[in-house]
Structure 1
Amino acid sequence: MRFNKLDLNLLVALDALLFEASISRAAERTHISQSAMSNALGRLRDYFDDELLVQVGRRMELTPRAEMLRDAVRDVLVRIDSSVTARPEFIPAQSDREFRIFVSDFTLATLIPHLLARAHAQGPNIRFAMLAQVLEPTRSLERSEVDLLIMPSDYCTPGHPTETLFTETFQCVLWRDSRLAQAELTQDLYLAAGHVVMVPAAMNSSSLESWLFKQHGLKRRIEVTSFSFSAIPAMVVGTERIATVHSRLARQALQNLPLVARDVPVELSEMRQVMQWHRYRTRDPGIEWLRRVFHEAVRDMDAADSPLARK
């Protein structure tokens, strides 16, 4: 089939070439031979009157024209996929669909167990791929390589819809036998102490909590950094250090570790945790179901985290 003299079958090859910037990897991605992908690239070069991919040293790079085409081609294919493959209804009990979700390990430790329990009760054969957040998670969303992003609202792109899942505050956790734990945690003591902080390995060079501190012009003495939210509470045990963590994570850690929790002695805004999906998939019945289950899971999480439940 052709549109404006372009063989529409070439769009899939073009998308793979622009994403991979490699003929061999694009061929693997689309499950065709390398020679067939080379032939497709030749035809695309003729049609666009542009090299699209050029050899620079040992790698291939996109031409300016190819850079302009990359997002537009992906947008067209995502729109086609969301329109053509969408089913009129989604029946969880009859589905074995896999949902791909970008989450932090904070979300994995607190919310995802409740999501999986809820989802399993409704659709035991539904599968999930929980993926670490990458350098540009919204790029993966744009390319429809992920179904949902779960992240602070500050990191979301304005081009796609979001729903708030919950808000989160922060608390300090300290080793209960430390000198710091025996006294009131003032702002001076807090800023003078050594801190264990989470620095994301991919999504951003600094955490949301660090960003909030920058808004107040405060500087802490960072002695330990970690790529994991959930590991931070354990890393203050046996030390005079402080970790500032999500309140839900702090309460979870207090059940298993010799820690005490204190209010953060500086003003920190609440974090708004949201889910975001591709705008073309708003009416996808499976995504609609998954969004509902996420909200149900939040209610389960907070019910389990209530004072009565912790007694």
Structure 2
Amino acid sequence: MDLRRVDLNLLVVLDVLLSECNVTRAAERLNMSQPATSTALARLRKQFDDQLLVKNGRNLRLTPRAQALVGPLRSVLHTLERSILTEPTFDPTVDSRVFTLLTGDYTEVALLRMLMRRGHPANVRFDLRPLSKASIAAFHRHEADLAVLPEQLLDAPEFERCHRRAVLTDRYVGAVWTGHPYTGTELNREVLSHYPFMSYLQYDDDTALGRSLLRAGIVARTGASTTNIAVLPYALEHTVFVTLMPERMAERMAAVASLRILEPAFDLPPLCEYAVWHEESESDPAHIWLRSQIDPSLVERVPVSQPG
């Protein structure tokens, strides 16, 4: 039999016929006329090249071929109904799923806190990967479920048709080692022009932060740079470098990394991170559950003191 020529509607009729062994009762269950049901049976006999149902007194009995079809046919129809026709659901306590998320090194910590504080279902795994050209290209190929990225990246072609939601906001503050020769509490032009600046990749001139510094007439004297923001708090120790970092990070790391926080004397743009996802994930129950776990209010409740 050529599967491409099989009419799925006829398989539904066949399932009822095999169950009832009576055309009249089958027609009633199917809400079809008896002639239409008889016509369907004739077509089924032709497709299967078998009588399927033969007369047995006033009723019909199944042929050996029909008897062999009962279990598999019911299983196939049940699978179709459950997996295709039934509205999909997701239960993290039962269903298994691996979620791939892209994030920067700073937001990775905040994101993990969000996810872990909501409890961790045994069947669910979170696979966090760093933001990079390669991982963004993978996201564009739908190989990642969600990306958390800074506001300035939202205009990239890879994300222009994606859904988005703000998940983290912070502000930048200055930071120096507690033994730094500068003893003031303010980060101003003089400090930035006098002491070497430790730069994070996001502080390049083409970022919102870099442009804000230029507009304020501030040219930082970059003496070192890193692509890993987690390095900044520790790298300042026993140096005369100054830097800018997210306030939450500075407060959390102040004691453990011997930091002193400086209040910027100029306006800086806020740090805004957004979750983005593809259109086809919008109504996926598993993805809806994932997004429900990424709750910005959980970040606000993260204690600023170093745990432990």
TM-score using structure 2 length: 0.64
Q: CA offset at residue 231 of structure 1? A: 1.0
Q: Distance in 2 between matches of 1:228 and 1:85?
A: 47
Q: Corresponding residue for 1:193?
A: 195
TM-aligned CA distance change 1:262 to 1:213, over 3 Å: same
Q: Distance in 1 between matches of 2:95 and 2:178?
A: 48
Q: Corresponding residue for 2:55?
A: none
1:163-202 aligned at under 5 Å gives the runs 163-182=165-184, 184-199=186-201
Q: Corresponding residue for 1:146?
A: 144
Amino acid at match of 1:165: V
1:258 aligns with 2:240: no
Q: CA offset at residue 137 of structure 1? A: 5.1
Q: CA offset at residue 105 of structure 1? A: 0.8
Q: Corresponding residue for 2:128?
A: 130
Q: Distance in 1 between matches of 2:133 and 2:143?
A: 14
Q: Corresponding residue for 1:159?
A: 161
Q: CA offset at residue 159 of structure 1? A: 1.3
User: Does the Cα contact within 8 Å between 1:197 and 1:225 map onto a contact in 2?
Assistant: yes
User: Does the Cα contact within 8 Å between 2:152 and 2:207 map onto a contact in 1?
Assistant: no
User: Does the Cα contact within 8 Å between 2:180 and 2:240 map onto a contact in 1?
Assistant: yes
Q: CA offset at residue 242 of structure 1? A: 0.7
Q: Corresponding residue for 2:115?
A: 115
Q: Distance in 2 between matches of 1:144 and 1:207?
A: 26
Q: CA offset at residue 187 of structure 1? A: 2.2
User: Does the Cα contact within 8 Å between 1:193 and 1:221 map onto a contact in 2?
Assistant: yes
Q: Distance in 2 between matches of 1:107 and 1:85?
A: 39
Q: Corresponding residue for 1:242?
A: 242
Q: Secondary structure at the match of 2:294?
A: helix
Q: Distance in 1 between matches of 2:280 and 2:105?
A: 28
Q: Distance in 2 between matches of 1:269 and 1:86?
A: 47
Q: Give the length in aligned residue pairs.
A: 220
The more displaced of 205-214 and 135-144 is 205-214
TM-aligned CA distance change 1:266 to 1:119, over 3 Å: same
Amino acid at match of 2:103: V
Q: Distance in 2 between matches of 1:116 and 1:126?
A: 12
Q: Corresponding residue for 1:303?
A: 301
Q: Secondary structure at the match of 1:92?
A: coil
What do residues 194-230 of structure 1 show as CA deviations (whole Å, max 9, x unaligned)? 1111126xxx996653354345453211111111011
Amino acid at match of 1:170: Y
User: Does the Cα contact within 8 Å between 1:147 and 1:277 map onto a contact in 2?
Assistant: yes
Q: Secondary structure at the match of 2:180?
A: coil
Q: CA offset at residue 88 of structure 1? A: 1.1
Runs of 4+ in structure 1 over 6 Å off = 83-87
Q: Distance in 1 between matches of 2:206 and 2:268?
A: 16
- Can you give the 5+ residue segments of structure 2 that lack an aligned partner in the other structure? 1-82
TM-aligned CA distance change 1:84 to 1:261, over 3 Å: farther
1:51-66 aligned at under 5 Å gives the runs none
**Structure with bigger gyration radius:** 2
What do residues 49-76 of structure 1 show as CA deviations (whole Å, max 9, x unaligned)? xxxxxxxxxxxxxxxxxxxxxxxxxxxx
Q: CA offset at residue 177 of structure 1? A: 1.1
- Can you give the 5+ residue segments of structure 1 that lack an aligned partner in the other structure? 1-82
Q: CA offset at residue 86 of structure 1? A: 10
User: Does the Cα contact within 8 Å between 2:209 and 2:269 map onto a contact in 1?
Assistant: no
TM-aligned CA distance change 1:284 to 1:114, over 3 Å: same
The more displaced of 132-141 and 164-173 is 132-141
Amino acid at match of 2:195: A
TM-aligned CA distance change 1:88 to 1:195, over 3 Å: same
TM-aligned CA distance change 1:266 to 1:283, over 3 Å: same
Amino acid at match of 2:200: M
Q: Corresponding residue for 1:64?
A: none
User: Does the Cα contact within 8 Å between 1:86 and 1:284 map onto a contact in 2?
Assistant: no
Amino acid at match of 2:235: M
Q: Distance in 2 between matches of 1:261 and 1:241?
A: 13
User: Does the Cα contact within 8 Å between 1:137 and 1:149 map onto a contact in 2?
Assistant: no
